[in-house]
Amino acid sequence: MANPNGIGASVRRREDQRFLTGRGNYTDDFKRPNMTHAVHVRSPYAHARILGIDFADAAAMPGVVAVLTGADMEADKVGSLPCGWQIHSKDGSPMKEPPHYPLARDRVRYVGDAVAVVIAETREQARDAAEMVVVDYEELPAVGSSTRAIDGGAPLVHDDAPDNVCYDWHLGDQAAVDAAFANAAHVAKIDLVNQRLVPNAMEPRAAMGEYDQSSGEYTLTTTSQNPHVTRLLMGAFVLGIPEHKLRVVAPDVGGGFGSKIFHYGEEAVVTWAARKVGRPVKWTADRSESFLTDAHGRDHVSHAELAMDADGNFLALRVSTLANLGAYLSTFAPSIPTYLYATLLAGQYKTPAIYAEVKAVFTNTAPVDAYRGAGRPEACYLIERLVDVAAGVMGMDKTEIRRRNFVPKEAMPYQTPVALQYDTGDFAKNLDIALPLVDYPGFQQRRAESKARGKLRGIGFATYIEACGIAPSNVAGALGARAGLYECAEVRFHPTGSVTVFTGSHSHGQGHETTFAQIVAERFGIPIENVEIVHGDTNKIPFGMGTYGSRSLAVGGSALVKAMDKVERKAKKIAAHMLEAAETDIEVKDGRFTVAGTDKSLGIGDIALQAYVPHNFPLDELEPGLDEQAFYDPKNFTYPNGCHVCEVEIDPDTGVTTIVSFAAVDDFGNVINPLIVEGQVHGGLVQGIGQALYENCVYDEESGQLVTGSYMDYCMPRADDVPSFTVCYHEDQPCTHNPLGVKGCGEAGTIGAAAAVMNAVVDALSDYGVTHMDMPATPEKVWRTIRDAAPAPTPAMAAE
Amino acid sequence: MYAFTYQRPTSLADAAAAIQAEEAKLLGGGQTLLPTLKQRLARPTDLIDLGAIPELKGIREADGGLEIGAFTRHAEVAHSDLVKRVIPSLASLAEGIGDRQVRNMGTIGGSIANADPSADYPSAVVALKATVTTDRRSIAGDDFFTGMFETALEPGEIVKSVRFARPDKAAYAKFRNPASRYAIVGVFVAKFGAEVRVAVTGAAGSVFRAEAFETALSADFRAEALNGLSVEADGLNADIHASADYRAHLVTVMAKRAVEAAG
């Protein structure tokens, strides 16, 4: 009988009880005896030389334990925050990798760059004293945007990065692309900006450092998506602490969206300072610090061209992108606009030749790194906007031009011209499911009805594909990753048949404690209540690469399956021994071990008990215990894909865009928990809609000051901004190379939504000759576009 | 937040005495002051909480209109049957302020005394011919707002209540800042017999009356009467959310919507 809480069941999230009743354990909730509080002194300038730091008054303030600066760190030989991915430029030279110290030494390079840390008995005392630290700055000219960075004569962010260029990279066959363009019947072109975003996890970053003098062991409790990676990077490169003396714990974490993948300076500061002051040190960001110092996302400026034959078949794609990396290289920053972006530029289309150039630059802004989707939303947005422009050039229906150019299901596995090999996907099927869902044939009538009410209606499609389950170590390594990206799991049966699973992936909202338990419950035919999922502690988990890039299930879940395979093999041996049968005669089903052709059988619980209380095991052949671990390294990425359709209505009087409907048809391979998948899609869609209509991180180009430094100016999407979504998926195209057949669903919504919304907005404005608008489509931008385009009377007047 | 002395007087007289302290500040619902304190952007020595003073509370009918105590929270105005009956447009304005948390804390006295250029209430004070009563005197609504975050209140003067006249028809239409949800433009239109008042908040440094609109609507109280009319963009607020000419445009759009809503 099927397990009611097994694979495919919409099990309610087991973790929600504690979250919803305020019993989660977040980093800031941890309190230690004698704990101190750290507040950072941060640069108010985007670019300045530090001439001196006078903290005598601050150090004398009530409750102050210590004031520490970059000079103290230098004296203790604290290293630079390392970068985990190396890119080489077209000419073969390695990227520029300037040092990034946890506390700035001689220069500050963005507003919020940490200069000193004040440690005091209370947070308020630390804050009072931090205000008394006098830093003598010599302000320098700043670079507030990527376009300004490469404007000849711009100030240099780093002296050893000429023209502010970190790397100038390319991918694809330029000659083949040029040849295709030379023979093209039609060319569609677009210039677009994929604006910078602030991640805005609900829980701000926090870190607590502890040092045990008796054991010499450090503990860092931190808001991390991957505690083992933080332990490796901070221990080996920054503080010089060997792994066996450094424990990193990532307890409950309130959202990350990528921003908590990276190793941040504050983590090193509190860990180092804990030993220095001999007491635990805790730092928790306030929301203003989150805006200033969390690694931001996106920030591309691109030009793209698509060559087509006379029938609208895509011949070649040419893309040139300027990517802003901010002031320093965050942990995975270099990989985002390259291998997580340009490799996705084929999209769902069989474009035979693609060439992409990416110039990445330093600016006096916060570092930019992975943010939900990380490169793939940028790729999807560029392709899907360009395809809509191409449909306009060809005079073709937007669905037809897509259908004509889809990689057909029969072509799978499909090698793209930009390094990836798609394993499965039926793109036409996604579209076939979506069209009736949104009543596409009825759209023109709805548009006419809107027009009669003085409103402009538009429909937009995004047929997206992403590479998830990051990543196969051999591929990642070949592309410049300085670490493999496998995953680890341990499955420990206890004597009475309950199970603890240790996973190297990390849940910060994804619901691992539910889905991973479902997989175990299904496999062994045990109640889900008997399964506990443990994650986020380097002292408990063998190893882990963490959670990002929609990888938990595809990679971590596969490691779990592999560990369960080992448990089952061991259990089979034990069963054979107990049932006095040959191992080959034991049949296993739903955790029941039966001697073939007999009614002699044992449950996994009986076997687990025997494993721990053996009486007569043949010790040469059979060890006691039922506890196995496995590492899983996938053969390929997974390729979630889908078709998102958005319908908008614009009020031309105010420029306000309202999303009337949104349908998402997704192929995530097999689905473990439909309820959680639906929730992930909803959240992703809202984030994508946020980028399309609301969010925009603005720096002043000249001064480098963050203009949108609070929710007063940085507009987050809210519940009343979005419609009730239509979300569905199919399981016809499971992943072919992982045991669960899963592809991942965490980022898909974000990847498809922005393009679908903007295509709908542009479609709504098509009567005004609009072919493109940069995000976010704010009311004023839309109103101005209409006003500037319109010689015709406004529809509002026409309606009156 | 810097340390301060918290006081909670139970009479207006005690509050008036307490506010005489140098660098003391009055605390209404705290929806602007508390975030300001948390950001360490203000450093009062004393915070005088007005929440325990009976004279500042309550909503009653007065002179055919309404008198609302300064320490009446937005949610109380929004949900008051009396307000809904006498000046429904005022209840609807209150219901649209901020979000539920803000409405449950924020007070009408705090809102008008703070005189945020993008606050909603100033438009009602001007359009509904209000009189602001303080512990010292009465101030005509038309004279109350003197500039950005500036009012006719003298140092230490405490708002007691606001008296609104009852219009024949009225409505408030606002265009929210998508991020903060304060008014980018809010227009309160009120009709008293032949007289029409159009008060605009959000668009400029302080609430102002759109006189050309008033004239047009006095002659013909229909949205169409405003066709072709607009306020001067010059001098209006401009920020990353809305330029001055966009705000000027929205004033007309919101005024029309208010007229339509007023019926």
Q: What is the pLDDT of residue A454?
A: 97
Closest Cα in chain B to A796: B253
| Number of Cβ within a 10 Å radius of residue A396 | 17
Work out the pLDDT band at A471, boundaries 50, 70, 90.
low
CA of A205, closest CA in chain B: separation in Å?
18
Q: State the CATH number of the domain containing residue B26.
A: 3.30.43.10
Domain containing B59 equals 54-164
- From B104, B130, B164, give the residue that closes a domain: B164
Residues 623-682, chain A: which have Cβ within 8 Å of B? 653-654
CA of B175, closest CA in chain A: separation in Å?
8
| Number of Cβ within a 10 Å radius of residue A163 | 15
Q: Are residues B154 and B193 in the same domain?
A: no
CB A67 within 8 A of CB A131: no
Work out the pLDDT band at A484, boundaries 50, 70, 90.
confident
Mutation target to probe the B interface, by most B beta carbons within 10 A, among A197, A708, A780 is A780
SS3 per residue for A419-440: CCEECCCCHHHHHHHHHHHCCH
- Which residues, 6+ apart, have CB-to-CB distance to A5 below 8 Å? A11, A517, A518, A521, A527, A528
Indicate the CATH number for domain A34-140+201-256+260-293: 3.90.1170.50
**Average pLDDT over every residue of A703-716:** 97
Q: State the CATH number of the domain containing residue B237.
A: 3.30.390.50
pLDDT at A1 over 70: no
Helix (H) or strand (E) holding A206: strand A206-212
Cβ–Cβ of B241/A713 closer than 8 Å?
yes
Domain positions in chain A are 34-140+201-256+260-293, 297-470+636-799, 486-632
Closest partner CB to B253 (pick from A124, A654, A716): A654
Closest partner CB to B240 (pick from A131, A707, A711): A707
Mutation target to probe the A interface, by most A beta carbons within 10 A, among B241, B254, B257 is B241
Q: In what order do the strands lie in the sheet with B183-192?
A: B169-176, B183-192, B195-201, B208-209
Q: Indicate the number of domains in chain B.
A: 3
**Cα angle: A536, vertex A557, A18; to 5 degrees:** 45
**Average pLDDT over every residue of A475-502:** 89
- From B138, B164, B190, give the residue that closes a domain: B164
Q: Are residues B122 and B32 in the same domain?
A: no
Q: What separation in angstroms does the CA of B22 have from each of B33, B35, B46, B230?
A: 17, 21, 8, 45
Q: In the numeric block, which tokens belong to residue A747?
A: 């980022």
CA of B120, closest CA in chain A: separation in Å?
16
Cβ–Cβ of B178/A711 closer than 8 Å?
no
Q: Are residues B90 and B155 in the same domain?
A: yes
Q: Does A778 touch chain B (CB under 8 A)?
A: yes
CA distance A298 to A303: 15
Q: What separation in angstroms does the CA of A517 have from each of A26, A498, A523, A559, A675?
A: 22, 11, 10, 14, 15
A798 contact residues in B (CB cutoff 8 A): none
Q: What is the pLDDT of residue A671?
A: 97
A716 contact residues in B (CB cutoff 8 A): 179
CA of A783, closest CA in chain B: separation in Å?
8
B249 contact residues in A (CB cutoff 8 A): 783
Q: In what order do the strands lie in the sheet with A601-603?
A: A586-589, A592-595, A601-603
Work out the pLDDT band at A777, boundaries 50, 70, 90.
very high
pLDDT at A182 over 50: yes
Residue (of A274, A298, A118) closest to A198 by Cα position: A298
B39 contact residues in A (CB cutoff 8 A): 288
Cβ–Cβ of A712/B39 closer than 8 Å?
no
CA of A799, closest CA in chain B: separation in Å?
12
pLDDT in tens, A369-396: 999 999 999 999 999 999 999 999 999 9
Q: What is the pLDDT of residue A31?
A: 97
Closest Cα in chain B to A657: B178
Question: Under CATH, which architecture does the A486-632 domain have?
Answer: 2-Layer Sandwich (3.30)
**Average pLDDT over every residue of A570-587:** 96
State which amino acid sits at residue B76.
E
Residues 124-143, chain A: which have Cβ within 8 Å of B? 124, 127-128, 131
Closest partner CB to B178 (pick from A715, A797, A800): A715
SS3 per residue for A343-358: HHCCCCECCCEEEEEE
- Average model confidence (pLDDT) for chain A? 96
Cβ–Cβ of A127/B40 closer than 8 Å?
yes
Q: Does B234 touch chain A (CB under 8 A)?
A: no
Q: Does B253 touch chain A (CB under 8 A)?
A: yes
Q: Are residues B154 and B200 in the same domain?
A: no
Q: Does B150 touch chain A (CB under 8 A)?
A: no
> Could you list the pLDDT tens digit for every one of the 263 residues in chain B?
899 999 999 999 999 999 998 899 999 999 999 999 999 999 999 999 999 999 999 999 999 999 999 999 999 999 999 999 999 999 999 999 999 999 999 999 999 999 999 999 999 999 999 999 999 999 999 999 999 999 999 999 999 999 999 999 999 999 999 999 999 999 999 999 999 999 999 999 999 999 999 999 999 999 999 999 999 999 999 999 999 999 999 999 999 999 999 98
Q: Does B40 touch chain A (CB under 8 A)?
A: yes
Cβ–Cβ of B40/A131 closer than 8 Å?
yes
SS3 of A757, please? helix
Helix then strand then coil, % of chain A, to nearest 5: 35, 25, 40
Closest Cα in chain B to A124: B1
A131 contact residues in B (CB cutoff 8 A): 40
CA of B236, closest CA in chain A: separation in Å?
15
ipTM of the complex: 0.95
SS3 of A581, please? coil
Closest Cα in chain B to A784: B246
Q: What is the pLDDT of residue A390?
A: 98
Work out the pLDDT band at A572, boundaries 50, 70, 90.
very high
B175 contact residues in A (CB cutoff 8 A): 654, 779
For A613-658, give the DSSP string: S-SS--TTT--S--EEEEEE--SS-B--EEEEEEEEEEETTTTEEE
CA distance A145 to A703: 10
Q: In the numeric block, which tokens belong to residue A642?
A: 């889908």
Q: Are residues B59 and B159 in the same domain?
A: yes
B1 contact residues in A (CB cutoff 8 A): 124
CA of B35, closest CA in chain A: separation in Å?
12
Q: What is the pLDDT of residue A495?
A: 97
Residue (of A341, A356, A383) closest to A171 by Cα position: A356
Work out the pLDDT band at A8, boundaries 50, 70, 90.
very high
Beta-bridged to residue A589, according to DSSP, are A592
CA distance A614 to A625: 9
- Where are the strands (E) in B31-120, listed by range? 46-49, 59-62, 65-69
Cβ–Cβ of A779/B249 closer than 8 Å?
no
SS3 of B164, please? strand
Residue (of A101, A98, A97, A47) closest to A70 by Cα position: A101
Q: What separation in angstroms does the CA of A643 have from each of A380, A719, A753, B185?
A: 12, 23, 10, 38
pLDDT in tens, B229-243: 999 999 999 999 999
Cβ–Cβ of A712/B178 closer than 8 Å?
no
Q: Does A588 touch chain B (CB under 8 A)?
A: no
Q: What is the pLDDT of residue A790?
A: 64
CA distance A324 to A367: 9
Residue (of A684, A640, A677) closest to A662 by Cα position: A684
Q: What separation in angstroms does the CA of A270 have from each of A32, A275, A782, A796?
A: 14, 9, 47, 59
Closest partner CB to B240 (pick from A698, A716, A800): A698
CA distance A454 to A53: 62
CA of A363, closest CA in chain B: separation in Å?
21
pLDDT at A797 over 50: no
CA of B249, closest CA in chain A: separation in Å?
8
Q: Phi and psi for A341 in degrees, rounded to 5?
A: -120, -65
CB A501 within 8 A of CB A522: no
- From B122, B145, B164, give the residue that closes a domain: B164
pLDDT at A793 over 70: no
Q: Phi and psi for A316 in degrees, rounded to 5?
A: -165, 155
Q: Does B18 touch chain A (CB under 8 A)?
A: no
pLDDT in tens, A78-121: 999 999 999 999 999 999 999 999 999 999 999 999 999 999 99
A717 contact residues in B (CB cutoff 8 A): none
Q: Are residues B71 and B156 in the same domain?
A: yes
Cβ–Cβ of B246/A784 closer than 8 Å?
yes
Q: What is the pLDDT of residue A740?
A: 96
pLDDT above 70: percentage of residues in chain A? 98
Q: Are residues B145 and B181 in the same domain?
A: no
Q: Are residues B160 and B59 in the same domain?
A: yes
- The domain over range A297-470+636-799 is classified in CATH as 3.30.365.10: yes
Q: State the CATH number of the domain containing residue B72.
A: 3.30.465.10
Domains A34-140+201-256+260-293 and A297-470+636-799 share a fold: no
CA of A10, closest CA in chain B: separation in Å?
33
CA distance A127 to A269: 16
Closest Cα in chain B to A698: B240
A654 contact residues in B (CB cutoff 8 A): 175, 250, 253
Cβ–Cβ of B253/A653 closer than 8 Å?
yes
Cβ–Cβ of A694/B253 closer than 8 Å?
no
Q: Are residues B138 and B58 in the same domain?
A: yes
A712 contact residues in B (CB cutoff 8 A): 179-180
- Which residues, 6+ apart, have CB-to-CB distance to B14 below 8 Å? none
Beta-bridged to residue A108, according to DSSP, are A48
CA of A711, closest CA in chain B: separation in Å?
6
CA distance A19 to A531: 19
Closest Cα in chain A to B182: A712
| Number of Cβ within a 10 Å radius of residue A432 | 14
Q: Are residues B148 and B250 in the same domain?
A: no
Count of CB pairs separated by less than 8 Å, A with B: 42
Residue (of A181, A185, A643) closest to A394 by Cα position: A185
Q: Are residues B132 and B216 in the same domain?
A: no
